[in-house]
Structure 1
Amino acid sequence: MPNLDAIDRKILAALQADGRITMQELADQVGLSVSPCHRRVKLLENRGVISRYTAQVDQKALGLHVSVFISIKLTRQKEEDLTRFAKAISKWDEVLECYLMTGNRDYLLRVVATDLAAYENFLKTKLTRLDGIASIESSFALSQVKYSIALPL
């Protein structure tokens, strides 16, 4: 872990809980005045510890009721094949996460869709049209037990 002191950790915890917190509120929470708190936040940003600020949007509120975890096995695992696959799926909005894996599968994807028909369309018009895929295994999430974007500090 980068060299973070207790105040840096408090700042990160507060920002992970509420990215829209005012600098005054943040300073009050971590026990600093506004100027030093602002300097620390800027330093964390400049060091790449804070990479960006986003709004967390509820998937179901947007009508995206289906979450699918897809295991992909490629026909070959050469660097150019891995790069071609990664470049192709990085353009698809339905793919929220993609991991290069160890073990029996090469990639694990998390995909969202409005319903099964939309997922089938994604599968037929995008994923199965990629060259170099040996197998695709889809697992549908029945419910979400835990979801967090807050990293342990």
Structure 2
Amino acid sequence: MDNLDGIDRSLLRLLQEDGRRTTLDLARRVGLSPTGASQRIKRLFSEGFIRAVRAVLDPARIGQAQLVFIEVRLDHTAPHVFDRFAEAVLRAPEIIECHMVAGGFDYLVKARIADMAMFQDFLQRVILPLPGVRETHTYASIANVKPDALLPI
């Protein structure tokens, strides 16, 4: 973060709020020429500060209204088990995030499914067959208190 000045930070904030802003709008808001703003944005992409620009979809509108979090404990912790688990998770489209964690379990899985009626199928078809799974605990989200939070810049 050392090489970010105030203008870079402003551009990142503005693009987080709305990735569809035009270069002209961004330039006006940060006090640069459109060319200057465009060059900075290209640099922010090339240096990896901006990884992607994408649409945020409404999960309910596309049939994935239910959000579940699943604690996964593996039967043993060895590099090959972690590798096989990670490879399998990458192939499961319902899993939208998966984090290896420190604490009382090994992974925290975040998944989207249609509804809780479909959960049993998802658990048996996707989660339990993952390599090395010994135990799971599921938490169904009933309200999203802070959706799509922006990173503090």
Asked if Structure 1 and Structure 2 have the same fold, meaning a TM-score greater than 0.5 normalized by the shorter chain, the answer is yes
Contact 2:70 2:109 in 1 (8 A): yes
- Mapped to 2, the partners of 1:20 and 1:129 lie a distance apart of 40
Unpaired runs of at least 5, structure 2: none
Paired position in structure 2 for 1:110: 110
Instruction: State percent identity of aligned pairs.
Output: 35
1:30-86 residue CA offsets vs partner (Å, 9 max, x unmatched): 110101110000100010111111100011222322111000000111111111101
Deviation at 1:124, TM superposition (A): 0.7
Quick one: distance in 2 between partners of 1:94 and 1:55? 18
In structure 1, what is the Cα distance between the partners aligned to 2:10 and 2:92?
A: 36
Q: Deviations for 1:94-126, whole angstroms, at most 9, x for unmatched residues?
A: 111110000011000111111123221111112
**Structure 1 runs (4+) greater than 3 angstroms displaced:** none
Matched residue, 1:79? 79
Q: TM-score, normalised by structure 1?
A: 0.96
The within-5 A match list for 1:46-61 is 46-61=46-61
How many Å separate the matches in 2 of 1:152 and 1:40?
19
Residue of structure 1 equivalent to 2:34: 34
**Distance in 2, Cα, partners of 1:105 & 1:64:** 26
Tell me, in whole angstroms, the C-alpha distance in 2 between the residues paired with 1:131 and 1:43.
40
In structure 1, distance between residues paired with 2:55 and 2:96: 15
**1:69 match:** 69
CA distance in 1 between counterparts of 2:13 and 2:42 reads 15
Unaligned runs of 5+ in 1: none
Preserved CA contact (<8 Å) 2:84 2:131? no
Looking at structure 1, the residues matched to 146 and 22 of structure 2 have their Cα atoms a distance apart, in angstroms, of 28
Where does residue 96 of structure 2 map in the other structure? 96
State the TM-score, normalizing by the size of structure 2: 0.96
Total equivalences in the alignment: 153
RMSD: 1.1
**In the TM superposition, what whole-angstrom CA distance separates every residue of 1:2-31 from its partner, at most 9, and x where no partner exists?**
421000000000100111111000101111
Structure 1 CA distance, aligned partners of 2:129 and 2:93? 16
